Chain A
């Protein structure tokens, strides 16, 4: 299974490189350097140049996503379980959700300073809504028989969260996490264009301004690999905590 997934990543990468190479030939412009030059350059500048940027970006994403998870899941659970709370909170969520929160970066910078804090808060504010809505809906969709079953076994209070609610909604939360990670990398790229000298977003835009397309593409490659690593980590979490979903799907396939 693992080798198969690694092989799939290899095929995916190969497909992109071929596509990239074709574009390079067609346009024959410096704006699209050849994949070969970029890959060589990538490895040359990986440790001295890219790594500090990547570490900084990873720190911002992980902090923002963890905070969003903590707050988002709590709010989602609260609204999902209490119908009355949901009646009041959901309209607020629906009103704020569609606002392009990226426009608030200048305000966050004034409120929380120019440094990391405003960037992390921006990412958090953007991804938290998907997590809240997913958590709330997943809680509402839990089969009521599970609650009766748990109660009949003597499971009450916090134990219900531990044995029923959290495990039941975890697969959906991990799916929400995958979606939000994609969004958060995109937002990070934007946020890192302001008031910082570190971060992969800064590196890409800076190389662009310096007309160094090979460095710029190396940065893009680095973002792509960063994303891949995060997605793979989420897959690992899923394998560990939601093994039952995979087992169930496999059985269903066998029956059909």
Chain B
């Protein structure tokens, strides 16, 4: 589904993404983990078509990405919700600019809000909601567009531990129900292990490790020994490289 070839991107003469290659098959999920400033946000922006690569190529379903792709949903770090729009209008925006009929917009929006349990807040503004509720709105906003790919840039970093796990479960559920491919960027080891079928460790613009996660997809994974083993393995991988 996604094929990334020799991707390079510089920001003010500093290379932030260096020779990245990977591919994601349909219905799979990737977690990219790395410290702040390792270039993972830039990678998401490149995949979303919000930035253009200096070198290399991104293909999604055999089409070269040089602009926004309609079927890609993007969740930015601070949710990206517009504070001047109500929950309903934030979620409806994507449909509105795609010229959907008003009645159809209402139907789709309400269905998705209900699915995420936030239909009670549809007339509220983002400032009136908690972090977790806003995050659900951000998820709803991408789901109404019926994406086949979801790109998430540290989506849950501002949430408390319990809400964060709830949101991770929600993403896993959506992934399983909709056969949705996604790529999540995070600096949280637990999150990478829970949400990544494949986990890539990124450092200074490069993928330094890629590991498979055979335990992915189990909603109760966090309670199991294998989870801790894999977290430990990942932690060692990340810290080893710090010592070098």
Binding site for B on A (CB under 8 A): 145-146, 148-156, 159, 163-164, 167-168, 170, 242-244, 247-248, 251-252
Q: Nearest Cβ in chain B — how far from A124, in angstroms? A: 28
Contact B125 A244, beta carbon cutoff 8 Å? yes
* A-B interface pairs (CB < 8 A), number: 67
Contact B128 A152, beta carbon cutoff 8 Å? no
Contact B98 A145, beta carbon cutoff 8 Å? no
Residue of B nearest to A243 (CB): B125
Contact A146 B82, beta carbon cutoff 8 Å? yes
Contact B125 A242, beta carbon cutoff 8 Å? no
Q: Nearest Cβ in chain A — how far from B99, in angstroms? A: 11
Among B52-74, those with CB < 8 Å from A are 68, 70, 72, 74
Docked Cα-Cα span, A168 to B85, in Å, equals 10
Residues of the B chain whose Cβ atoms lie less than 8 Å from the Cβ of A170: 84
Residues of the A chain whose Cβ atoms lie less than 8 Å from the Cβ of B141: 153
Binding site for A on B (CB under 8 A): 45, 48, 50, 68, 70, 72, 74, 76-78, 80-85, 93-94, 97-98, 125, 127-128, 141, 145
Q: Given A153-B97, A247-B127, A248-B127, are A148 and B80 also a contact pair (CB < 8 Å)?
A: yes
Name the contact of A152 in the complex, choosing from B76, B77, B81, B125 (C-beta under 8 A): B76
Q: Given A244-B127, A248-B125, are A148 and B82 also a contact pair (CB < 8 Å)?
A: no
Contact B82 A152, beta carbon cutoff 8 Å? no
Residues of the A chain whose Cβ atoms lie less than 8 Å from the Cβ of B74: 149, 152
Residues of the A chain whose Cβ atoms lie less than 8 Å from the Cβ of B82: 146, 149-150, 163-164, 167
Docked Cα-Cα span, A251 to B125, in Å, equals 11
Docked Cα-Cα span, A132 to B183, in Å, equals 43
Contact A154 B84, beta carbon cutoff 8 Å? no
Residues of the B chain whose Cβ atoms lie less than 8 Å from the Cβ of A145: 76-78, 80
Residues of the B chain whose Cβ atoms lie less than 8 Å from the Cβ of A150: 82, 93
Docked Cα-Cα span, A203 to B231, in Å, equals 82
Docked Cα-Cα span, A150 to B76, in Å, equals 11
Q: Nearest Cβ in chain B — how far from A237, in angstroms? A: 14
Q: Nearest Cβ in chain B — how far from A138, in angstroms? A: 13
Docked Cα-Cα span, A243 to B126, in Å, equals 12
**Closest 6 A-B residue pairs measured CB to CB?**
A149-B80, A248-B127, A152-B74, A167-B84, A153-B94, A244-B125
Task: For the A-B complex with A145-B76, A148-B50, A153-B97 known, give 18 more contacts whose Cβ atoms are closer than 8 Å.
Answer: A145-B78, A148-B45, A149-B76, A152-B48, A152-B76, A153-B141, A154-B68, A154-B70, A154-B98, A154-B145, A155-B93, A155-B97, A163-B93, A163-B97, A242-B84, A244-B84, A244-B127, A252-B127
Contact A251 B80, beta carbon cutoff 8 Å? no
Docked Cα-Cα span, A159 to B95, in Å, equals 13
The interface centre, meaning the residue of A154, A167, A170 with most chain B CB atoms within 10 A of its CB, is A154
Docked Cα-Cα span, A170 to B45, in Å, equals 29
Residues of the B chain whose Cβ atoms lie less than 8 Å from the Cβ of A242: 84
Docked Cα-Cα span, A242 to B82, in Å, equals 13
Residues of the A chain whose Cβ atoms lie less than 8 Å from the Cβ of B83: 244, 248
Docked Cα-Cα span, A202 to B21, in Å, equals 77
28 contacts between A and B (CB under 8 A): A145-B80, A146-B82, A148-B50, A148-B80, A149-B74, A152-B68, A152-B72, A152-B74, A152-B80, A153-B93, A153-B94, A153-B141, A154-B68, A154-B145, A159-B97, A163-B85, A167-B82, A167-B84, A168-B84, A170-B84, A244-B83, A244-B85, A244-B127, A247-B125, A247-B127, A251-B127, A251-B128, A252-B127
